[in-house]
Structure 1
């Protein structure tokens, strides 16, 4: 079984310490599951020259390391998408070096997939989708997915734009491990614009001319949004500059 370890790099100051930690964890995993072999895909997500030099040195030092360079900084999701599209393996382990505390749980990820038979396994956090908290979404960050799950994820991304959150919706058997480290804060929409809109609707509803005009405006907005949704093309999440195998 071949596992592609996808590691995006952007502003991390040192390459060697987190990479050695990951390699140590996977070396321990190799003793538990000797049938699993690992390739490393280091994604240069628009890093500075010094970091790019370190990535090239790591790629030259270890033959199992591959270096994928993006044309500029596309963010963690864009780099993860580039790695998934470029690498070929039986499973794909996506790690974020910004959260090194999670590296200790790599054996849990492999155990859940190899011994538990799960197609998607990772660290998940249920966060409210709306500010009033009536609907929750599962957000993935570090995760391990099989090849069929990867294909389903990329097919869903072609329609809606790439996001690891889609892993919660593509229908594969999942095992969600508890998030045990710091979680990136998600942006929340301010309540004040919504309150202003509700207040304007109530205020304008007292007079029928303004109510009719408001309904026409709202109908136009809904129609425009519907047309925009139908005409929306798949977004390009990354542009590859070079690949060093």
Structure 2
């Protein structure tokens, strides 16, 4: 079985409070970007000795086995019911530690695939609960539609948001941002705007309202990330913002831009939405 775990983009991100459990409450709009994806294959192999064997290719993966969300997904699912022994192969194409949710997507897609192989498949509610144990934004990748997210990012409200026909330029400078550090530096406050309402307004109005609380922190430490955002606007972006806790920045365009000669030595690609 082969699937294609896709990246996500954040249209705005407000950190609204610190929770008793140590996490933070946020408000954000998640949108899926299926044209930027990993390739995930899971094959039942009953004759192997171990329950799970994991291999990977593509972009380098530096996390150890205990941090691998595909392996964690198998372990969590196996606690709920019998699973076959499997080989999992992940071809990594989404930049890692970049604010694009690639690891979360891989974990969530692994859950979904394993659920089809389980002796007793779980309900959507139970699958959502396990996904949250993997990561705060993992439940989104079980939805596959734009969503307004609150809580840790797991409380999801589907949005009617049509961005078809637009192009997105995704630029990652290769700077890994620690999500924990970013949250430790941000000052939670009430969201200044209702993202659900703003994203229904003309996109030209988003620039001064649909913001990301992590930008000030990351831009201060890494001015080159802010320069990417400015360069995207100079290129003609209708709207540009850093995704998640960074360091990826993306810009939305109404026609396909030419980025040749720009963003050298960086991951920089143009995708249709």
More helix by share: 1
What's the TM-score once normalised by structure 2's chain length? 0.27
More strand by share: 2
What's the TM-score once normalised by structure 1's chain length? 0.29
